[in-house]
């Protein structure tokens, strides 16, 4: 069931401390000690949220003594799309950025699951509220991490905050400033002792979670909001749609009403951070029978097996870090 607010705060604090104290980072063309990867307090991205980020997971397989970066190139392909929105330039193409990331992971010698955070940002020390003509910066850091959301069954709450629309602050790109919207919604959910928020669009349809896409199961069919519902076009979301098809599970991308979630047989969130996180309660209502459903479990088990390299299918999704 849902974790308590105190437990969640402890998890976040633990991750923050680990990020601050260990590792090697990459900043503007060089590998540096993490403590030296700094920007000015006057940096444009800090003032105005003018940055684009990605989240990439690496899965440690102890039996194989191997770390697998999951869908590494696809994340940088999405980043290459996102930076067009903010007119930020990247220092390399997706494959070049993937190669830098593998080097960074090797330099850190990780032997655990890790999270990789690339960041492309407006680095100019400028008070000008604009995008064009400002110097760009780029960095990557990584740190050990476990589950971002509980994977044993979580509680969610519909947010009073609406999802930002594409004609205001587009959710399609992972824009740092847009995540104020997420922070407000997730903070509200925690106030009600829920683990995750559920955003609605301006017209009242389900969009996505605070930091994850959402799926529901109704009558054996897997349903998820379309890309036009102000969602992030998730890499994990795409993976699950592919895997569901291979498992013979029908998938629909369509508008979802809020109350459909109340009567759904199963609901789960997915994302690089969230992974596959079953949802057993929404707005104080049990989802289905209040337990993790069979379709969610099948998809989750297959996803984790593929990501860790225990299932050999889709080798193109895994980048082995160590030679």
Spatial contact of 195 and 187, defined as CB atoms under 8 Å apart: no
Q: What is the average per-residue pLDDT within 28-47?
A: 96
Q: Nearest Cα to 20, choosing from 33, 7, 29? A: 33
Cβ count near 17 (within 10 Å): 10
- Residue 292 phi/psi, 5-degree rounding, is -65, 130
Give the CA count within 13 Å in the CB-facing half-sphere of 111.
4
- Percent of the chain clearing pLDDT 70 (strictly above): 93
* Fold topology of 154-308: D-amino Acid Aminotransferase; Chain A, domain 2 (3.20.10)
Tens of pLDDT, residue by residue over 161-175, are: 999 999 999 999 999
CA nearest neighbour of 135 among 75, 50, 54, 78 = 50
Lowest mean pLDDT among 70-79, 139-148, 276-285: 139-148
pLDDT tens column, 226-245: 999 999 999 999 999 999 99
Q: List residues bridging with 200 in a β-sheet.
A: 206
pLDDT of residue 183: 98
Residues classed as catalytic? 174
Predicted local confidence at residue 6, as pLDDT = 52
Contact between 24 and 212 (Cβ < 8 Å): no
Q: Are 8 and 150 in contact (CB under 8 A)?
A: no
pLDDT at res. 19: 55
The answer to whether domain 5-144 and domain 154-308 are alike in fold is no
b (16+ CB within 10 A) / e for 33-68: ebeebebeeebbbbebbbbbbbbbbbbbbeeeebbb
Q: What is the mean pLDDT of the chain?
A: 94
Give domain 5-144's CATH architecture.
2-Layer Sandwich (3.30)
Q: What is the 3-state secondary structure (H, E, C) of 81-149?
A: HHHHHHCCCCCCCHHHHHHHHHHHHHHHCCCCCEEEEEEEEECCECCCCCCCCCCEEEEEEEEECCCCC
- The residues near 189 (Cβ < 8 Å, ≥ 6 apart) are 156, 157, 159, 195, 196, 197, 210
Confidence label for 148 from pLDDT (cuts 50, 70 and 90): confident
Instruction: Spell out the domain ranges in the chain.
Output: 5-144, 154-308
Mean pLDDT of 20-44: 91
CB distance 208 to 199 below 8 Å: yes
CA pair distance 221, 244, nearest whole angstrom: 10
């Amino acid at each position: 069931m849902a974790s308590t607010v105190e437990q969640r705060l402890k998890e976040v604090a633990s991750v923050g401390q680990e990020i601050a104290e260990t590792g090697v980072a990459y900043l503007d063309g060089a590998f540096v000690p993490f403590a030296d990867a700094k920007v000015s307090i006057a940096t444009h991205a800090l003032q105005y949220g003018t940055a684009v980020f990605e989240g990439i997971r690496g899965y440690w397989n102890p039996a194989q003594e191997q770390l697998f970066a999951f869908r590494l190139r696809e994340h940088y392909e999405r980043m290459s799309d996102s930076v067009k929105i903010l007119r930020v330039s990247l220092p390399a193409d997706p494959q070049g950025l993937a190669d830098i990331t593998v080097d960074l992971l090797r330099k850190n010698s990780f032997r655990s699951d890790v999270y990789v955070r690339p960041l492309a940002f407006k680095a100019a020390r400028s008070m000008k509220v604009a995008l064009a003509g400002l110097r760009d910066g780029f960095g990557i850091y990584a740190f050990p991490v476990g589950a971002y959301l509980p994977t044993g069954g979580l509680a969610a709450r519909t947010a009073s905050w609406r999802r930002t629309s594409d004609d205001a602050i587009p959710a399609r790109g992972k824009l740092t400033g847009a995540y104020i919207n997420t922070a407000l919604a997730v903070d509200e959910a925690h106030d009600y002792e829920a683990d995750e928020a559920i955003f609605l669009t301006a017209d009242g349809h389900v969009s996505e979670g605070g930091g994850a896409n959402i799926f529901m199961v109704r009558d054996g069919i897997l349903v998820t909001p379309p890309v036009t519902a102000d969602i992030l076009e998730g890499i994990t979301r795409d993976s699950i749609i592919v895997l569901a098809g291979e498992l013979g599970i029908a998938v629909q991308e369509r508008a979802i009403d809020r109350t459909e979630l109340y009567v759904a047989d199963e609901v789960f969130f997915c994302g690089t951070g969230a992974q596959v996180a079953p949802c057993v309660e929404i707005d104080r209502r049990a989802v289905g029978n209040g337990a993790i459903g069979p379709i969610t479990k099948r998809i989750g088990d297959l996803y984790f097996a593929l990501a860790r390299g225990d299932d050999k299918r889709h080798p193109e999704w895994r980048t082995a870090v160590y030679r």
